A = this chain, B = another copy of it.
Amino acid sequence: MPKSSVSKLVPKVPPLPSVPGMSRRQQFSASTKKTLVEVAEKLFTEHGYASTSLDAIVAGAEVTKGALYHHFSGKQALYEVVFEKVEAATAQSIDAAMRETKDPWEQARAGLRTFLEAVQQPTYRRIVVQEGPAVLGYQRYREQEERSTFTVVEDIVAAVLRAGDRTVDGEMVATFARLFFGAMSAAGESVAEASNPEEAAERVELAVTYLLTGVQTLAQQGVKVEDMR
């Protein structure tokens, strides 16, 4: 058998970009772990948590369950890593969008708009909104959100609220933030599911703007949240 035909069976593998301060062995390890997470993210998004088998994941990553269970304690732990990754990316994109303007009101609109876009991404929808609470349990789900996306939304809400009423305490801000966060999540689902997503998204923006404007108007009139009792 000629050498040339043999060499085709051993395709050249692109050398891993050498990361300083990391041995070759560690780089291989990190690579497989990264691949596992990426494949898991893809499959979880497409088929959901329950319908995605570990066999499918390790097959996609071209490893075995031994590798998976070396890097993660189980299926749920792998899901949590994927969850955090998706969350972090979303929070970061919102943060970036808000940094593009200085005006607080414009920042709020930009942030909410970006959140509305993010919440329509299949990955975020499936992994965070739809299956997150069920897979992680609401406790862990909330703990995770608290450290990323929700915090961003809370900052936005706080800015809008305090612009008019400086007496609102932290608990009240958190409550408003919860309401808006839940509202936007649900809205994202309905937008993504709508027959005409663009129109639906615009309706949501109108509605949210209307609500926020109402809040601002009340605040300008000196009406405090406390007065609602």
Contacts and interface: CB of A to CB of B under 8 A. Distances in A.
A94 to B, nearest CB: 18
Given A193-B138, A206-B229, A207-B225, A179 B183 contact: yes
Interface string A162-204: 0000000001100110111111111101100100000010011
A182 B175 contact: no
Interface residues on A, range: 35 or more
Contact of A175 (B129, B189, B204, B225): B204
Interface in A31-87: 48-50
A211 interface: yes
A189 B133 CA distance: 11
A138, A139, A181: residue with the most chain B Cβ atoms closer than 10 Å: A138
A100 to B, nearest CB: 21
B182 A185 contact: yes
Interface in A95-144: 125, 129-131, 133-135, 138-139, 142
A208 interface: yes
